[in-house]
Copies of this chain bind each other. A is one copy, B any other.
Amino acid sequence: MTTRRLRDVGEHRWIAGLVRRLHDDMAASGRVLVGPGDDAAVLRASRRPLVLTVDTLVEGVHFRAGWASPRTIGRQAFRVNASDLAAMGATPVAALLALEAPGDTPVATVDGLAAGVAADARALGAALVGGNVTAGRALAVTVTLVGDAGPRLARRAGARPGDRLFVTGSFGARAAAVRSLLAGRRVRWPLAPVRVEAGRRLAAIASAMIDVSDGLLQDLGHVCRASGVAAVVDAARVPVAAGCRRVYGAAAVAHALTGGEDYELLVAVPPRRLRALAALRARLGCPLTEIGRMVAGRPAVHVPGAAWARGAGGFDHFR
């Protein structure tokens, strides 16, 4: 059996097939007036402010061929964007998918990518409403997410001295898995968690919130700069993923704090809202752990007793 490739099928026939497969999603969503297949997609107006984000996964940069199925990569492309919306307290409504792919890409690969985006959108009540495919040297998957703001919007700015710092889930699993994969070991490429429900609820009581994509210390640094305050992290309290402990041993905590791609939420909560936080903990759908506090001072992140953390950054695509 020969593999059908994108150049055998052509851009327009591939898109036409995708449009047919997405038809039911459009019908299920009460918000989509025009789905894929026209010049643009159209959503019914909402009374809520609209939250927008975009992110790209590039083959050879964010993943390598064989690390995960196309469907999993599509799901991840959706989830890294959903993480940005979650950090604002917003809920996804519609996704756009812009694909770059070499002409010899198997049709099954682009089908899988789109199916992955659509599946994870559907799981949150959102829909893949449109997109574009173009020739490119490497596979690249750009997802744009449009969401509805929740009752309260969380920002990076707003943290005050005395606020307590919490994180969802655990850290270091993806950094450890990527290290194993690069070393040629066959481990699962772990998907980002979905923290949309947690984000929506935490936004109601947060003084500041961010999602951790570039490393806990670096992203906390963004909150410090935006808020004009400093932070103290108790490294011993940071929940380290089991996979990270396995791979890094004694250095696991350092990697958990700087590895990046955790897509967990980091949230500052004023002391007066700690009772409200206790009341909603059970409904977050994930663990929440206190890891430190905000303090007065010029923007900086302090990790007492951890010499490695001095000047520790996180992930930067170009450094």
Enumerate chain A interface residues (CB-CB to B < 8 A).
6-7, 9-12, 14, 33-34, 37-56, 58, 60-62, 84-85, 87-88, 90, 94, 96-98, 100, 103, 129-138, 140, 142, 144-147, 149, 153, 155-156, 209-211, 214, 226, 316-319
Contacts of A149 in B (CB 8 A): 42
Contact present for B43 and A136 (CB under 8 Å): no
Contact present for B210 and A39 (CB under 8 Å): yes
Among residues of B, the one whose C-beta sits closest to the C-beta of A265 is B39
Contact present for A87 and B39 (CB under 8 Å): yes
Query: Could you list 16 A-B pairs, sorted by A, with CB under 8 Å?
Result: A6-B318, A9-B318, A14-B318, A33-B49, A39-B209, A40-B53, A40-B84, A40-B145, A43-B50, A54-B98, A56-B142, A58-B100, A58-B135, A61-B136, A140-B140, A142-B142
Contact present for A133 and B317 (CB under 8 Å): yes
Shortest CB-to-CB span from A124 to chain B, Å, is 15
- Oligomer: number of copies: 2
Among residues of B, the one whose C-beta sits closest to the C-beta of A319 is B10
Contacts of A103 in B (CB 8 A): 317-318
Contact present for A98 and B41 (CB under 8 Å): no
Shortest CB-to-CB span from A203 to chain B, Å, is 11
Contact present for A45 and B46 (CB under 8 Å): yes
Contacts of A137 in B (CB 8 A): 58, 60, 137-138
Please tell me which one of the listed residues B12, B45, B55, B319 contacts residue A11 in the complex, with CB atoms under 8 A apart: B319
Shortest CB-to-CB span from A98 to chain B, Å, is 5
Please tell me which one of the listed residues B10, B39, B87, B133 contacts residue A40 in the complex, with CB atoms under 8 A apart: B87
Among residues of B, the one whose C-beta sits closest to the C-beta of A6 is B318
Contacts of A88 in B (CB 8 A): 34, 38-40, 42
Contact present for B51 and A40 (CB under 8 Å): yes
Among residues of B, the one whose C-beta sits closest to the C-beta of A131 is B54
Q: Contacts A11-B317, A52-B94, A94-B52 hold; do A135 and B34 have CB atoms under 8 A apart?
A: no
Contact present for B153 and A61 (CB under 8 Å): no
Cα(A266)–Cα(B209), bound, Å:
47
Please tell me which one of the listed residues B6, B132, B135, B146 contacts residue A55 in the complex, with CB atoms under 8 A apart: B132
Among residues of B, the one whose C-beta sits closest to the C-beta of A33 is B49
Contact present for B49 and A11 (CB under 8 Å): no
Q: Contacts A34-B155, A98-B142, A136-B140 hold; do A39 and B58 have CB atoms under 8 A apart?
A: no
